[in-house]
Amino acid sequence: MKNLFYFLLLASIYALLQPNKVFGQEDEVLPRYMTPTERALLAKYRDIPGWAQGNFNPPPRPVRAMAEWEELQALAITWRGYWNVLAEIVRASQKECRVLITCPDSTTLSTCRSYLNNRGINLQQNIDFLVTPSNSVWIRDYGPNTAYMGEVDSMCIIDWIYNRPRPLDDVLPAAVAQYLNVPIYNAAQAPDDLVNTGGNFMCDGQGTGFSSKLVLYENAPGNGFGVTPKNEAQIDRIMRDYMGVKQYIKMEVLPYDGIHHIDMHMKLLDEETLLVGEYPPGIADGPQIEANIQYVLSHFKTYLGTPFRVIRIPMPPHNGKYPHEGGHYRTYLNAVFVNKTVIVPFYEEKYDTMAKRIWQEALPGYNIVGIDCNHVIPAFGAIHCITKEIGVPDPLLILHQPLSYQKPLCVVNTPATTGYVIWASAHHRSGIDSFKVCYTTDLNGPWTCRPLQPYVLGDTLWTHQGLIPRQPAGTTVYYYLEATAKNGKRLARPMPAPRGYWKFCVKEESVSTRPEAVQVSLLPVYPNPASAITVVPLRADQPIFATVNLYNAVGQLVQTLFEGELPEGEKNLFIHADRLFAGTYWVSVQTPYQTLTQKLLVR
């Protein structure tokens, strides 16, 4: 009771510092970044008992953090500003799952209901209200993280310390966990007191997580949050224990992204695919984004041990200006999966049309819904930032590597080909009753389904095998998977199947020839000028011995970047420019037939 008193006292003091609200009018919204007033509170607010709630230990069993494209029972939002955007999120989401609207008080609840009703939104269709205190609209950053103990068994909520001194936000996950009647595990007490933010974390549901290095800086010695200082290995251990993250990839922060949240410039579409924001060459955060992605591609693999796939999507300007010129940080990556729908921020039709096409091509069959976010994006946030997924209590997990990912060009028919092997796995706590692959060569025609049979192959994840029969060269094959659990639950992947599908093309085996002359290309080094991780991209027609050196302005060897056989195709080398003195350097590539050089400026 004493702790509750102190917490409510703190909340009351904090509330005095917040923007006022007039009944029936929209809140003046706290920005996604930290305000000067909040900076003054940073060192003190965690001294009051009650600022964090839950079980301050990791889950008792191995845990798996949910990927965003998995099945949702609800999408959570906090009704604190940007009502027009939130209302359209409700409209699009209530067709797919429940929408859990958290309101800070009964007055806000009444206002919210009236606003939605006046916008023609059916309050009786998949809408739940939860009255619980909050400070801000940015539920992505402080909201509940869904995870499962035993891979697909017991649902739980994972929480950590929100990287803003907003104590009411910090305890909202506990209120949601109580509402859902699921346990909550909170990394909020030493030695597990972790500062993190949801917009700077995404995962593949199979143990790989992504963040910017903000998570390192905010937990380092002198972090200002009052948490115990931690090195990278200690942070990785906490994320493994609480979130099941075994491979935690951290990228350089960006020069113009003021909050350093990765959800502003990248999005995981599945376990192997990254959708990445792209600026015109040399513009704004473009060079560092590209350097970060190339670093990821060269140093990390998917949970299957395969390279990540990358799809690019433009970052649109604001009034013709990009962030380095004072334009808003517009992005199409700050989107949210809601079962068979993806809600994407929109800005201007001339840019939105292309963005929608890219999303539709990347995720065939998904309903891509655009919502105008010009009002919210100046605060460094959009759709993803003001939503939070809540997974189902009994997930049916389907894992599969599409054939087109394994063979990006086409599947090749040989004289021995009888069909195309499909490996997949399905998991549910009640067990799997049936599993099948369905395929067609004509999206307007019928689909044929064949069973996937259980298959034991050592310790591999693939537990079922099936065969799509051989098709003529020139054919495009479309397919999806469908599993039925022993309790009767049924799920397809891609989730919108048969409207959604994977596809691959078929061609006949042919003999290729190589050119006799070996050519090596040194592509433009980036970012240039450089101050952090820098990429040296190379391309070779055939394998060839090469030496790649870095020299300073007077011709002294600084570092040998590579020496050995350069493989056929593209290869990236990396320079840690932050370890070099500022000045002019030269990258030199030498082969038996060529010498290539390029100037690099280090700031």
Is 264 strand, coil or helix?
Answer: helix
Reported as a single tens digit per residue, the pLDDT across 41-98 is 777 777 666 667 888 999 999 999 999 999 999 999 999 999 999 999 999 999 999 9
Reported as a single tens digit per residue, the pLDDT across 3-39 is 444 445 445 445 544 544 434 456 567 888 888 888 8
Identify the pLDDT of residue 414: 75
Q: Is-contact 289 276, C-beta < 8 A?
A: yes
Identify the pLDDT of residue 17: 43
- CA distance linking residue 507 with residue 408, whole number of Å: 12
Reported as a single tens digit per residue, the pLDDT across 354-389 is 999 999 999 999 999 999 999 999 999 999 999 999
Domains contained in the chain, CATH given:
2-391 (3.75.10.10), 397-508 (2.60.40.10), 520-602 (2.60.40.2550)
Identify the pLDDT of residue 20: 43
- CA distance linking residue 265 with residue 199, whole number of Å: 11
From residue 248, give the alpha-carbon distance in Å to each of 204, 212, 240, 243.
Answer: 11, 10, 9, 11
Identify the pLDDT of residue 105: 96
Q: Is-contact 55 183, C-beta < 8 A?
A: yes
Identify the pLDDT of residue 19: 47
Identify the pLDDT of residue 537: 94
- CA distance linking residue 173 with residue 186, whole number of Å: 9
- For 264, list phi and psi in degrees, rounded to 5: -85, -15
Identify the pLDDT of residue 554: 66
Q: Which residues of the chain have pLDDT under 70?
A: 1-28, 47-51, 407-409, 456-462, 510-517, 554
From residue 450, give the alpha-carbon distance in Å to each of 229, 434, 445, 468, 534.
Answer: 55, 11, 17, 8, 49
Identify the pLDDT of residue 389: 98
Identify the pLDDT of residue 496: 98
Identify the pLDDT of residue 388: 98
Element (H, E) at 357: helix 349-362
Identify the pLDDT of residue 1: 40
* Displacement of CA 313 from its chain's centroid (Å): 15
